[in-house]
Amino acid sequence: MLDLLADLLHATVASPWVYLVLFAVSAIDGFFPVVPSETLVITAGVFAVSGRPELGAVIVVAAAGAFAGDHVSYLLGRKAGTPLIERIPPGSRKRRSFDWATTSLHERGGLVLVVCRYVPGFRTATTVTVGAVRYPLRRFSLFDAVGTCSWALYSSLVGYLGGRVFEQDPIKGLLLGLGIALTITVLVEATRWYRRRRRPDPDSSLESTA
């Protein structure tokens, strides 16, 4: 059964159409985070051990798709997010929290964009928010290029590593690659949660400076 599944996956991933699918899924995941782009990129990386698909092409196509999808998310935030924000009453707790978040993005936006690219779901929320606060498009594109390229390289190589370790059993290689990716995601999320716990409340910061 596993051999049949491996042959089916290999036949699908080895098809020339895989690059179009890879681009589309990576792009859609940028603004509709139900689509599991990491899984597809890691799977392509596993089977790239055999030479089909080509590892370099997988990295380039995945990065290009993710870059395009993130910009759709950014533009959605820029068009639809700002009117919603303007309805928040000035001086309210929600408005003060938003102003504090806006300042944080402008001060550390590059780091936030790159790190959140590795956390499924949060990447969309981040890019929409970045667009809503009108973070400069040129800076967003620069940092997003760094994030998407490093993400595509990481996901592809994780799959490729799993494929190398279990070259004769690609299903195990895929499971290893997904396990590594899940572990790293959990570590990133745990670090983010810990830092958030230690971060001062924006309201208290504002009150202390009042």
120 upstream amide cis, omega within 30 of 0: no
The pLDDT of residue 59 is above 90? yes
- Condensed to tens digits (0 to 9), the pLDDT of residues 74-105 reads 998 888 876 666 666 777 665 665 665 566 67
Cα–Cα distance between 15 and 167 in angstroms, integer?
A: 19
User: Given this model, what pLDDT does residue 131 score?
Assistant: 87
Rounded (10°) angle between helices 55-76 and 37-47: 170
Domain count, the chain: 1
For residue 48, give both structure tokens. Answer: 């790239």
Domain carrying residue 118: 2-209
User: Given this model, what pLDDT does residue 50 score?
Assistant: 79
Q: What is the pTM of this model?
A: 0.74
Cα–Cα distance between 77 and 62 in angstroms, integer?
A: 23
- Condensed to tens digits (0 to 9), the pLDDT of residues 109-147 reads 788 788 878 777 678 878 888 888 888 899 899 999 999
Give the residue with greater pLDDT, 166 vs 57: 57
Contact 146, 111 (CB under 8 A): no
The pLDDT of residue 191 is above 80? no
Helices (H), the chain: 2-13, 18-31, 37-47, 55-76, 82-86, 93-116, 122-132, 137-165, 170-198, 202-209
